[in-house]
Chains A and B, each alone.
Chain A
Amino acid sequence: MAVAARDTETAGKAKDDERRRRRDDSALQPRASAHLPDTPPGYPPELERVEVAVLLEAVFRHYGFDFRSYAFSSVKRRLWKRIHAEGLATVSQLQDRVLHDPDALERLLLDLSINVTAMFRDPGFYRAFRTHVVPLLRTYPFIRVWHAGCSTGEEVYSMAILLQEEGLYDRARIYATDINEIVLQRARAGIFPLEKMQEYTENYIRAGGTRSFSEYYTALYDGALFNSSLTRNVVFSQHNLVTDGSFSEFHVILCRNVMIYFDRELQNRVHDLFYQSLVQLGILCLGNKETIRFTRYEDRYEALDLKEKIYRRVE
């Protein structure tokens, strides 16, 4: 389904890879700040709505990528970021470019599908996971975890570290999926910016880490290469929450700060998928400010930790 995945199988593979790597690097650079990637002053709002809808429809019909059910307010900001970066002035101009230039489409896909994250983002969540979920997981001989929308993998490595420290890693398998093959390549590589390690170390300590965080990586130029033992039981693979179905039964599903980019209807559909994919009493972990409350599945779960949004399927 992904343009990126298909390309790598063609003849010009090495050259493509190199080109892509360079493009990735610029797209994945941490950006401390940016100017308003937003609608220019005076841009006609009703026309903008029409243009955005038509662009997303065109991308879907021509390429098969479906962003039509993304939340308008945030998808619009990401479109404008790309419009400015391409040196264009209107949404329609971006439509013209991505329809006729597949490279431009790939750049847009990165903008639309990458969620910037951090290791042990929301340390309180990992503490709560140790307290409320780990004891339940100890009762299973084998644990299947689905990390949906894992992006560049920071939170997958965080969970792997946690499970190792709790002595559960050897009986666990983590399926880490994302819509975007490019970020998955980055996740598999397990190299994160060295400059982030101070922040991540602080997060790790506050998350209840029991060792020294630096034991988990080796400094490598300006990167931190994480121990391959952390990914021994991790399967990174492409999965599209919008179009793909369930692929197994899981004891834990993590999907944090991914569905905030979806509209309410799509959120409900994804909750349907998660519900079908969880074992009885399986655990669902959402982002800190996401809640099951405004979805159709409110009554199917009970909260294990209301503040950290850790739920258990009860029927």
Chain B
Amino acid sequence: MTAPVAGYRLVVVGVSAGGLFALRTIVAGLPADFDIPIAVVQHRSRDSELLCELLQECAPLVVTEANDKEPILPGHVYVGPPDYHLLVEDGYFVLSIDEPVRFSRPSVDVMFLSAADAYSPDVVGVVLTGANGDGSRGLRAIVDRGGYALVQDPATAEVAVMPQQALKAVPTACVLPLEKIAPHLASIRGRRMPPCRPVHA
């Protein structure tokens, strides 16, 4: 129940086009005792109701769509519901139906910025495949406030734009091929990670 004292307390994941395969790979690769709560924002249409079920099929953790004011607990993967912004406060989620940001609701940046506000410096930000620049601004904020940035290697992304943009904003992010992301997350529990050497995507 209690989060590791020395380690990160929240993982936030932003993903867009190509996201289903990427997310399934990650949730399937996490150990059942992974104890840092995970919040995911995936761009999707307002009728895509199956995402949680498709992820739950292959995940040892509990996958649910986040409700307003729902407590953030270890052992859970929370997915932002379609047509709402997902915001993080200390210990629980807040939803909003404010206008889309750069055509997206949910917006990755909105979630990342609120997570940086509520959980810094205990946040890991993860940017995966996608066709737009959403998430870079928020990832920058997470790192500026002492958090850790993880970006899918654009070469392994179905659509490389989003990870490329994230690396442009945060050159010191850790870059990993998709299948290494879950094992890496599992390995950093209870630890603090230094920034990586800058890469040029």
Contact = CB atoms under 8 A, between A and B. Distances in A.
Interface of A: 31-39, 41-42, 45, 71-74, 76-78, 115-117, 257, 259-261, 264, 267, 287-291, 293-294
Nearest to A264: B69
A45 B120 contact: yes
Contacts of A45: 117, 120, 145
Interface of B: 65-71, 81, 84-85, 87-89, 92, 94-103, 109-110, 113-114, 117-118, 120, 137, 140-141, 144-145
Contacts of B97: 115-117, 257, 260
A38 B67 contact: no
Given A77-B98, A77-B110, A290-B67, 20 more contacts: A32-B100, A32-B103, A33-B100, A37-B101, A38-B113, A41-B141, A71-B89, A71-B94, A73-B94, A73-B114, A74-B96, A117-B97, A260-B68, A260-B94, A260-B96, A267-B69, A289-B81, A291-B67, A291-B69, A291-B70
Contacts of A291: 67-70
A77 B81 CA distance: 19
Contacts of B113: 36, 38-39
B101 A33 contact: yes
B199 to A, nearest CB: 21
Interface centre among B69, B70, B114 (most CB of A within 10 A): B69
Rank and list the top 6 A-B pairs by shortest CB-CB distance, nearest first: A73-B87, A74-B96, A260-B68, A73-B114, A71-B94, A33-B103
Contacts of A31: 99
Given A291-B68, A293-B67, A73 B118 contact: yes
Contacts of A261: 96
19 contacts: A33-B100, A36-B102, A36-B110, A36-B137, A37-B101, A38-B110, A71-B94, A73-B89, A73-B117, A74-B94, A257-B95, A260-B94, A260-B95, A260-B96, A260-B97, A267-B69, A291-B69, A294-B67, A294-B71
A119 to B, nearest CB: 14
